[in-house]
Chains A and B, each alone.
Chain A
Amino acid sequence: MQRLRSWRPQLNPIIVREVRTRMRGVRPYAVLTIFLVLMALTGLGIYQLMVQQARFGGTLLSAQVGQALFKGLAFVELLLVVFLAPALTSGAVSGEREQLTYDMLMATPLRPAQILWGKLVAALSYLLLLIVAAVPVFSVVLVFGGVELAALLKALALLVAATVCFGAVGLFCSALVHKTARATAVAYTLTLLLVGVPLLLASVWGQVTNPPGQAVPPAVLYLQPFSALLSVTTIAPTGDPALPFFGYGDPFSGLPLLNIFAVGVVHYGPAGPVVLPIYRATLLAYGLLTVLLCWAATHLVLPNRRWRPRWSDLGFLLLIVILLLVVYDARSWWHVQPPRPF
């Protein structure tokens, strides 16, 4: 009977507990408010920047403002998500150890995967709340126009994938390291490595290759979220008269700093800028990385015999095989090459 009862579907207790407590106190509301204020200020700042450009004689069309807002808001939101996600999950397991509730939790029939799944979903649901709460700010883009709905959806998909992946980084560190402060430090170090190393490699690639000046292989940037976002938000000319593209010479809409992430993503050819859709590979890579990190975390969370094979490994293996099959089957979709130099 007990076995049968355990199969009866019920809400994950960890999610129930986290949901009950997550929104208690002032802190979650303060973070949400600060997040939205930052987003709103970003939107206002971009609008002012565009207006300023028009005052100095530039031609300013509504679609240009829309595109600039889309890029700016998406980048700020991704920046906030990438740095909030590890912080929210890096205390998930280590916090239980520090709070001395770990043994009590481990003494229950909850499986490690259930505990981690609950922790991840609870932490990410708050981040997704932030993303959803920012939708009204984002919708300003639609007022100005210039951005396809498909681009908006792609940006949203990338934001969600990055949230889950960097959340999984925090969760992995929390299971690996017993102290929350150290787990957070390790999670941020990994995040900085994922963000910084590809950028550094891309920026020096041309100098270290022989002959010099060769294009950066897109694979270098697959795990870099900002480059991937740039490949979504940079709207290249389509040739479609129904969707005019303005400012061929500047794919960043005059926004500062965005060109840092353009190396290896935006290639300039005789026909104008070519944007490599590396976000496709990024989505798949984040999916694989998330599954691998969660699998490792389910073993690290165990009090003993951590690496002994478990039944849950079969589930993870199946997931990885499915993802690898998707990667193989869709290779023509995600595997893009930079155009040959002219």
Chain B
Amino acid sequence: MTPAIETIDLTRRYGRMVALDKLNLAVARGSIYGFIGPNGAGKTTTLRLLAGLLEPSAGEVRLMGQKLRIGGAQRLVGYMPDFFGVYDDLRVWEYLDFFARCYGIEAARRRRTVNELLALVDLEHKRMAYVQSLSRGMQQRLCLAHALVHDPPVLLLDEPASGLDPRARVELRELLRTLRDMGKTVLVSSHILSELAEVCTEIGIIDSGKMVVSGPVDAVRRQLEGGARLRLRVVHGQETAEATLRALVGEPAPELPRLRGVRYDPADERVLLVELEDSDEERQAALLTRLVQEGVVLSEFRTQAENLEELFLRLTAVD
């Protein structure tokens, strides 16, 4: 099946500045794709290009298998910008009705669509309220509803969680899951990875206009992990354990894992974090045996996966 969103060497320049440099992106249909990167990485430029609001300097965009032409994205894409505005002097239902009219939806279907969307974003009780009287989270949900009036297969949400309180973020995540269940392909950008880590099926990390890594969340994690990290909680023999481990850094033993470094967990002084160059379980077991033989008493010995937040920081770190 062709991807819902595909970019081929997509490039966008602003004068001499290259905002997006040969971006190759493929988002599978029905997935929630987390597009992550620090501020100024090129996320908004990418989304504006996908929404047909910007012209690429080079490369091309394909939506649902069709090459994107100027003005051709509108019916395929629902776009929610990062800094969205609302018409303050409109009532909530009028706001959705206005955008439904913009898409040429006939009167009977328009009424039905407005009602369904208000129910979807849980704003039925605010139907007659003025948009300006809504809270930030409600406005965000209303803006998301506006992007759905024409029932597009692809949704582009630019920083939808920015400025939301924790409850509103949870509600947004629930809404994203509902959209996925409805069969929508959602591309959601954020500079805060934890906002998306739980809900996304795929992620892409962009930095300085270039895609650093992209794919299903677990695959990206595996691809980037390379080695592993051991977490050791030492009950007795802390000095011995540290000395043994430090001796192995740079001087590997044949049956033991190759160690990159050893450090204490800043949150718990009895926990040692050991960076390994590989994730061979046999060697990790041999290391545990060696420590026990040297009289170290451990209450915890386990591999610890690097979380997405740490991956993101590592990948986008300034050299």
Q: Which chain A residues have a beta carbon within 8 Å of chain B's beta carbons? A: 2, 5-6, 8, 10-11, 13, 16-17, 20-21, 24-25, 96, 99-110, 303-305
The CA-CA distance from A110 to B98 in the complex, in Å, is: 12
Q: What residues of chain A lie closer than 8 Å to B52, measured between beta carbons?
A: 107
**Contact between B53 and A303, CB atoms less than 8 A apart:** yes
The 4 closest A-B pairs by CB, nearest first: A100-B85, A13-B101, A108-B102, A101-B85
> For the complex, is B75 an interface residue (Cβ under 8 Å from A)?
yes
**Contact between B104 and A107, CB atoms less than 8 A apart:** no
Q: What residues of chain A lie closer than 8 Å to B143, measured between beta carbons?
A: 104
**Contact between B98 and A16, CB atoms less than 8 A apart:** yes
Stretch at the interface among B76-84, B159-167, B274-282: B76-84
**Contact between B53 and A5, CB atoms less than 8 A apart:** no
**Known pairs A100-B84, A101-B85; A13 contacts B98 (CB<8 A):** yes
**Known pairs A107-B74, A109-B104; A304 contacts B86 (CB<8 A):** no
**Known pairs A103-B81, A104-B81, A107-B79; A10 contacts B53 (CB<8 A):** no
Stretch at the interface among B87-95, B180-188, B206-214: B87-95
The CA-CA distance from A305 to B101 in the complex, in Å, is: 26
- Secondary structure at the B interface, as helix, strand, loop or mixed, is loop
**Would you give 7 A-B contacts (Cβ < 8 Å), ordered by A?**
A2-B75, A6-B104, A11-B101, A13-B101, A103-B53, A109-B104, A305-B70
The CA-CA distance from A100 to B143 in the complex, in Å, is: 12
The CA-CA distance from A8 to B107 in the complex, in Å, is: 12
> For the complex, is B251 an interface residue (Cβ under 8 Å from A)?
no
Number of inter-chain CB pairs below 8 Å:
80
Tell me the B34-91 residues at the A interface (CB within 8 Å): 48, 51-55, 70-71, 73-75, 77, 79, 81, 83-87, 89-90
B97 nearest in chain A by CB position:
A16
**Contact between A109 and B77, CB atoms less than 8 A apart:** no
**Contact between A109 and B55, CB atoms less than 8 A apart:** no
Using a Cβ–Cβ cut-off of 8 Å, how many residues does chain B contribute to the interface with A?
Answer: 31
Q: Which chain B residues have a beta carbon within 8 Å of chain A's beta carbons? A: 48, 51-55, 70-71, 73-75, 77, 79, 81, 83-87, 89-90, 94, 98-99, 101-104, 106, 143, 146
**Contact between A8 and B106, CB atoms less than 8 A apart:** yes
A331 CB → nearest B CB, Å:
41
Of residues B54, B94, B102, which shows the largest number of chain A Cβ atoms within 10 Å of its Cβ?
B102
The CA-CA distance from A110 to B86 in the complex, in Å, is: 18
**Contact between B89 and A303, CB atoms less than 8 A apart:** no
A52 CB → nearest B CB, Å:
47
Q: What residues of chain B lie closer than 8 Å to A104, measured between beta carbons?
A: 79, 81, 84-85, 99, 143, 146
The CA-CA distance from A8 to B105 in the complex, in Å, is: 10
Q: What residues of chain A lie closer than 8 Å to B85, measured between beta carbons?
A: 96, 99-102, 104
Q: What residues of chain A lie closer than 8 Å to B79, measured between beta carbons?
A: 103-104, 107
The CA-CA distance from A5 to B102 in the complex, in Å, is: 12
**Contact between B53 and A21, CB atoms less than 8 A apart:** no
**Contact between B102 and A110, CB atoms less than 8 A apart:** yes
The CA-CA distance from A98 to B184 in the complex, in Å, is: 31
**Contact between A100 and B81, CB atoms less than 8 A apart:** yes
**Contact between B53 and A99, CB atoms less than 8 A apart:** no
**Contact between A107 and B87, CB atoms less than 8 A apart:** no
The CA-CA distance from A106 to B79 in the complex, in Å, is: 10
* Contact with B90, one of A21, A25, A96, A304 (Cβ below 8 angstroms): A21
B149 CB → nearest A CB, Å:
9
A305 CB → nearest B CB, Å:
6
B74 nearest in chain A by CB position:
A109
**Contact between B71 and A109, CB atoms less than 8 A apart:** yes
A6 CB → nearest B CB, Å:
5
Q: What residues of chain A lie closer than 8 Å to B51, measured between beta carbons?
A: 103, 107
**Contact between B89 and A10, CB atoms less than 8 A apart:** no
* Contact with A108, one of B48, B70, B94, B99 (Cβ below 8 angstroms): B99
The CA-CA distance from A212 to B73 in the complex, in Å, is: 65
Q: What residues of chain B lie closer than 8 Å to A106, measured between beta carbons?
A: 53
**Contact between A17 and B53, CB atoms less than 8 A apart:** no
**Known pairs A17-B90, A107-B51, A107-B74; A100 contacts B106 (CB<8 A):** no
**Contact between A20 and B94, CB atoms less than 8 A apart:** yes
**Contact between A21 and B87, CB atoms less than 8 A apart:** yes
Q: What residues of chain A lie closer than 8 Å to B87, measured between beta carbons?
A: 17, 21, 99, 101
The CA-CA distance from A182 to B162 in the complex, in Å, is: 30
A5 nearest in chain B by CB position:
B104
Q: What residues of chain B lie closer than 8 Å to A305, measured between beta carbons?
A: 55, 70
The CA-CA distance from A99 to B139 in the complex, in Å, is: 14
**Contact between A108 and B103, CB atoms less than 8 A apart:** yes
**Known pairs A101-B86, A304-B54; A109 contacts B75 (CB<8 A):** yes
B98 nearest in chain A by CB position:
A17
**Contact between B90 and A20, CB atoms less than 8 A apart:** yes
